[in-house]
Each structure stands twice: as C-alpha cells, then as structure tokens.
Structure 1
C-alpha cells in the first residue's frame, strides 16, 4: 500500500533523504556564504552548490531549526529549496500515463499532495545534517548547451559508506530546476511511479490523492 511505502522508514524515503542531504551539504565543496544569490542560469554544478549552501547555512544559523523544530525547518525548505524544484514535472512523470487521465483539478490536487510528501522528506533530511561529513561534486560531463542534464556527486557519511547521488535538471524559462534524484542507481520517479500505479489501479486517482493527504497528517 502507498501509505506503507511513504513511511519515513521506507527504503526510498531513506535514499531520498540522503539525496536531499547531498543537496543541503554541498557547502563542504564550496566556500560560498549564506545569502549568496542563486543564479538559475549558471552552470548546473554551480547552481546546485549555491542553492545548497543557502539552505544549509539557513538551517545552521536558525536556533529553532538547530533544535529540531520541523515546522521551522519546513519554512526554511519552502524559502531556500522549493523555488528550485519542479514538483509538477516530478509528479507528472511519477504518475505516468495516469497523468493524462486525470482532470485538471485532480492534477493540481495530486501535485499539491505529493509536494507535501517531498517537503517532509527534505525537512527530515535537513534536521540531521550533522550526521554527514561532506559531499564531493563530480565534474560535469554533459553538453553545456543541453536543456536536460545530470549532475553527479558522492556523499561521504560519518557512519557509513560513500553514496553516489545524481540529479536531473531541466532548463526552464526561469532557469534550472531539479526534477529527479538517483541514489545508488535507484531513481526517485521510477520508484514512485510503480507505487502510484498500484494505488491508482486499486482506488483511482482520487484514492492516491487521499492516501498522500492522509500521510501528511501522520
């Protein structure tokens, strides 16, 4: 069931949290200061690093966030991370063929419900930033003129092996947006697509939306 899949102890959420930490802890690979302007039209690596630095420094300098106040961390995530994530594309790709079957209202509601799930995962990851020692951004090997690129990194953990993390970015009219994550060859969208399909086949699109909303209250 989708609710079991979306619990914080699930494999995908743990992997996604590691990827979120990878974004947040990119500070270790750059000397940028908090408040640095994020240029969504910069190189993919520089874009991710700048956004990550601001998010991490905001959490580290906020007393409520440092104390583990998730409500406050949610606010910081909303301010420093969400502007650079394309939730609609992530949701559309996760829903697959069912996206076209949904009404405009259902599409809107699904994006909103799924957004809540992903925000909580980002927040949970940022609440544990001290557990990671650093991250190394790998050299960019794609076409610098491409509109859809992959950024690679390696996350070094204090109590575990290094984790390979990749990000898919799309160049939109507003600049780069993150829309998918890969942790040790597991793609976020592909995993959610399988679970979405199962839930929709059993309870329809409205059933999936309801399940995601119920999870938000837990």
Structure 2
C-alpha cells in the first residue's frame, strides 16, 4: 500500500533550463555550450557539476554559488519553471488522501523558493537543509522519517536511476522512473530504470496508477 509520494525536483518537477542558463551566464559561455557539456558528462556517468569544471578547472562550486547570490544572480524558481503537469498531478494525489512531499538534491535557497510557490504538497525539503544528499542511503532514511511512514509505503519519483531509483529501492522505498529530462531519456530503456516499480512518461499517470481499485 502506498500512503505517501515524494518527488525529486530537477527535471521531475522543474525544468533545468534556468538553472544551467544561470551558470552559463555566470561563466560567460553560450547556453548551448554548457548544455552540451552537461550532456557529455551525464553520458559518461559523471556528476553534472563536472561540466562546470570543464569550463573553469578548479572551480569551487559552493563558493561560486555564494558569489552568485551576493551578486544578485543566484538561483530562481518561478511558476514558469514547473512542468505543466506538476500542480495537477500533486493535487490529484492529495485528493486520493496521499501524503505528498518534495525532496531533492538542492540548496537551502531552492527549498525557500519552492515553498514560496505554494505547491499542492504537504512538505518541501532539500539536501541542503538535511545535510545529506542522494544517492546516500541516509537521504532516503531521512525521507521516511520526514514523511512519517514505513519506507515500503513511500513512492519516490525521479528521473535519474542512479540517484533516485536504485538507492531509494535499496532503502526499502517504492519507486517510479520518470522519462523526461536528459537523465530520464538517456536511462529510460536501461536495466537501471527497469528496477523501478513503475515507469512513467508524465506525472499525470500517478493519480491513475495509485487510485484505489
């Protein structure tokens, strides 16, 4: 029985175009250059921050985050950054009586921005607030404690098998792989994505899948 659904953020709920566009502007390179490098490192199985290091070797990403904030060029999330199915799907899940959470590998600042959007969710949290990040098992243990449910009753939804599906499953959660965004499309037909309980192309599928028989 699923009693709670928790969502990843980037390329699950939000487009990453503003995120990477902001970094491209900050590093003074064309947007398509950074996008291509992100795709390249993802295809190689490397962390996407490696794309920033290819442009500026030795970059201290955390320090640059702080510098961007001080310069008034930090992270921003608005309604137009949400995929069009997000509010509709989250509201549909709550109408089914399910607890809905949002928890991903983002900064404290992103948590604040997401809360300002007033999504139809019961709670929002990020790795920056928790001090632990995916794919660490402790992240998913924190998800379960935060949701107040046994892991087996929690469905975690994300686009990245290595960060979202495999570690969540190892921690006892149920999983749904979302086929969108670079990681979602790249890994859609792999054995890693096949480990998910469900494989979906839209969040709109979730209220239908989880509706009582």
TM class by shorter chain equals under 0.3
The structure with the largest helix share of the pair is 1
TM-score by length of 1: 0.27
Structure having greater relative contact order (Cα 8 Å, sep ≥ 6): 1
